[in-house]
Amino acid sequence: MYSVNVFTPMMITKYVLRNMLLHHTKGSIVHISSISAHTGYKGLAMYASSKGALEAFSKDTAREWGGLGIRSNVVVPGFMETAMSATLTEEQKNRIYKRTAMKAATSVRSVAETVAFLLSDGACSITGVEVRVDNGTI
């Protein structure tokens, strides 16, 4: 779990940063976390803790490299209808939806468009933040 959710993004970020520094490039790094890092779900303690570690790494990356124009942010998606969640029953999904203000699954498109915005120049003053795209998960 930590290899996939923490160590691999750290290594990729390391090489992205090296390239940006070598070419004197400003830009944006966006990591993907999970709402489970902020709210408890039974059986997801390891997953949630790995995503929390990724969020801490991203925030520190923003602090360390911001002076050179390199931004680092995290998108925190809520529960989405994906292949990974396909094994859940409708009852299980509905219990999750009830924990959101909008009583529905998070839109994959909304998450993707948030990532695209954070990568764009329109987000040039945004760094070191966690943007929740989660239908108001409580």
Q: Is 15 a catalytic residue?
A: no
The pair of three-digit structure tokens given for residue 40, joined into one six-digit string: 């408890």
Asked if 128 and 73 count as a contact pair (C-beta separation under 8 A), the reply is yes
Instruction: Transcribe 72-125 into DSSP letters.
Output: EEEEEE--B--TTTTTS-HHHHHHHHTTBTT-SPBPHHHHHHHHHHHHSGGGTT
The pair of three-digit structure tokens given for residue 16, joined into one six-digit string: 């992205």
User: Pick the catalytic residue: 2, 15, 41, 47?
Assistant: 47
Active site residues: 47
